[in-house]
Amino acid sequence: MNSFSFRRYGPPIRPFRGGWAIVPFKGEKAHYWESRRDPEYGTDAIVKGVHYQFWVSRCGIEAATSSEVAAQERGDVPQCKNCLRRVNQ
């Protein structure tokens, strides 16, 4: 019997406008995401036909979502405590 548990993410959020979500490949907790302005591309870009949007969490993690890899509802994944503290300030 394994002692670890599986977390269930919610469905993809389309269109994602920011807020609490899981961004694939960016940790095991839900973060509070806000649009980020990339110096080269702005807040979004189309590269080789794929639409990318750039994000930064309240705790400072940078990420990108795309038309192929969307942010997901957080489901039963815990919220980042640093993001939660900054959202509630």
Domain range for 26 is 19-87
Number of domains in the chain: 1
Contact 51, 66 (CB under 8 A): yes
Is there a domain that residue 31 lies in?
yes
- What the block records as the tokens of 68 is 């192929």
Question: Position 12: which residue type?
Answer: P
Where are any strands of DSSP class E within 1-89? 19-21, 31-35, 44-47, 50-57, 62-66
CA Rg value for the chain: 14
Tens of pLDDT, residues 14-42: 999 999 999 988 888 999 999 988 777 77
Is there a domain that residue 37 lies in?
yes
Is there a domain that residue 5 lies in?
no
For all residues of the chain together, what is the average pLDDT? 88
Q: What is the pTM of this model?
A: 0.84
- CA neighbor of 75 nearest in space, from 3, 2, 5, 17: 5
Is there a domain that residue 52 lies in?
yes
